A = this chain, B = another copy of it.
Amino acid sequence: MKQMVTNMLAERGVRLTDVAALVYALQQPYQPRLTLADCLASVASVLEKREVQYALLTGITIDTLAEQGLLAEPLQSVIAQDEPLYGIDEVLALSITNVYGTIGLTNFGYLDKTKMGVLATINDNPHAVHTFLDDLVAGLAAAASARLAHNGWRATD
């Protein structure tokens, strides 16, 4: 299932190295010797969690159906236009972030607001529906950062 989710992300324009780059930008200031390979390994580890896989699977499926115009109204319009009051995308992203505790919350919000790196690329594509994808990817990067923070701490505990 992990491979399937990784493939779905790639088809939607997000490689795991793109997510790792977000993790590096978030976490390297606090863990100076961190490498991009460490970040990639952390993203891969988060992707093994069933809860994370299901959140990604569900959100990307909804995005894709909306892109193909296959959702019933009014949900079709709400998702296709990324209606600002629709918060279910954040709800799903939060279930990813929570897997490594609430310390990921701040990073999730920061990424979602500033749209760094691959998040800008996703968001600026006018032909695709990425209502869920940008939040989910921000949540994934936040969880992988929280995981590194917990592990770094444990290493010196």
Residues of A that sit less than 8 Å from B by CB = 1, 4, 30, 49-51, 54-55, 57-58, 61-62, 64-65, 70-72, 74-75, 78, 84-88, 90-92, 94-95, 98-99, 101-103, 105-114, 149-150, 153-154
Contacts and interface: CB of A to CB of B under 8 A. Distances in A.
B61 A90 contact: no
28 contacts: A4-B74, A50-B153, A51-B101, A54-B86, A54-B87, A54-B88, A55-B91, A58-B88, A62-B62, A64-B72, A85-B101, A85-B153, A87-B102, A87-B105, A88-B92, A90-B102, A90-B103, A90-B105, A91-B92, A94-B105, A98-B98, A98-B99, A99-B99, A99-B101, A105-B105, A105-B108, A109-B112, A110-B112
B58 A62 contact: yes
A108 B54 CA distance: 21
Contacts of A114: 110
B149 A84 contact: yes
Contact of A103 (B49, B61, B84): B84
